[in-house]
Amino acid sequence: MEFLALPLGLLVGLSLGVLGAGGSILIVPMLVYVLGFEPKAAITTSLVVVGLVSLGGMVTHWRAGRVRVGTGIAFGLAGILGSLGGSYLNRAVDSNILLLAFAGLMLVAAWAMVRNREAQPSVPASTSATGGRIGVLAAARVEPALAAKVVVAGSTVGFITGFFGIGGGFVIVPALSVVLGLTMQQAAGTSLLVIVINVAIALGPRLGGEALPWEVIVLFTVAGLVGAVVGSGIAGKVRSELLARSFAGLIVVIAIYTVVRTIIAL
């Protein structure tokens, strides 16, 4: 069954490459319902795959000058407590409750994906030219209201990553753009750095607890990276709004399937 990780990873990578976010939310249902993983093992595996694919994508964006390192680190550090809290809570929650909560998150992600595509914010030139309003060294000089927004957004994303095993790009990208003033391209690239940081923190409490299925991880990651490259190449050739709506519809269907399967299993 491990070979199925290749087409599944390719699908996730394509969605990430075309839409820039949302693809990782499919990994856990794929691992549970296609490859037969236990929910908590699927979330740990998803974390590793998301981290590796995000790292590969971040390098590409960094070379193109689309990663604001200081901003990404500041946002990632704001999510430390959320990542750790989500990781520990994940271990205490019943697997069926975890899947139902995950289905709820999928519905939120589908809504956010369509909404963000319909109303992408414009960024003032003075803000985007400097790469945003906050970095590591500038964090102490920003107004308290902005700092509070960074902490709240960072903690929320960190918790989502730690508890559900996903990147949370559907939250990070608009937060970086609207709250911190990055362009959409910078937000997409910088969000990958935030995801890498959150994944590294979230994996800490899980290390040594269980053997990781490295064969599945490698196949999923390689296919995901290939899909992301292909998706990036076709992103400008199709209507992003139509793709976002179609992908959101797929997420809703999988969320409903997850709820039905989980309720039957109770």
Q: Are 127 and 176 in contact (CB under 8 A)?
A: no
Q: Are 206 and 87 in contact (CB under 8 A)?
A: yes
Domain annotation covers residue 251? yes
Domain annotation covers residue 103? yes
Instruction: Write out pLDDT tens, residues 193-230.
Output: 999 999 999 998 887 767 889 999 999 999 988 887 78
Identify which has the larger pLDDT, 87 or 238.
87
Three-class SS of the chain = CHHHHHHHHHHHHHHHHHHCCCHHHHHHHHHHHCCCCCHHHHHHHHHHHHHHHHHHHHHHHHHCCCCCHHHHHHHHHHCHHHHHHHHHHHHHCCHHHHHHHHHHHHHHHHHHHHHHHHCCCCCCHHHHHCCCCCCCCCHHHCCHHHHHHHHHHHHHHHHHHHHHCCCCHHHHHHHHHHCCCCCHHHHHHHHHHHHHHHHHHHHHHHCCCCCCCHHHHHHHHHHHHHHHHHHHHHHHHCCHHHHHHHHHHHHHHHHHHHHHHHHHHC
Domain annotation covers residue 16? no
The pLDDT assigned to 130 comes to 42
Token look-up 């699927």 returns 42
Domain annotation covers residue 19? no
Instruction: Write out pLDDT tens, residues 155-202.
Output: 999 999 999 988 888 788 888 887 778 887 788 888 889 999 999 999
Spatial separation of the C-alpha atoms in residues 49 and 222, rounded to whole Å: 9
Determine the length of the chain.
266
Q: Are 17 and 229 in contact (CB under 8 A)?
A: yes
The pLDDT assigned to 238 comes to 67
Q: For residue 122, what are the domain limits?
A: 29-265
The pLDDT assigned to 56 comes to 84
User: How many domains is the chain built from?
Assistant: 1
Domain annotation covers residue 22? no
The pLDDT assigned to 131 comes to 47
How high is the mean pLDDT of the chain? 82
Instruction: Average the pLDDT over 27-48 and give the result.
Output: 91
Token look-up 């070979």 returns 3
**Widest pairwise Cα distance in the chain:** 55
Supply the pTM of this predicted model: 0.81
Domain annotation covers residue 1? no
Domain annotation covers residue 2? no
Instruction: Write out pLDDT tens, residues 59-100.
Output: 888 888 888 998 899 888 988 999 999 999 988 999 999 999
Domain annotation covers residue 18? no
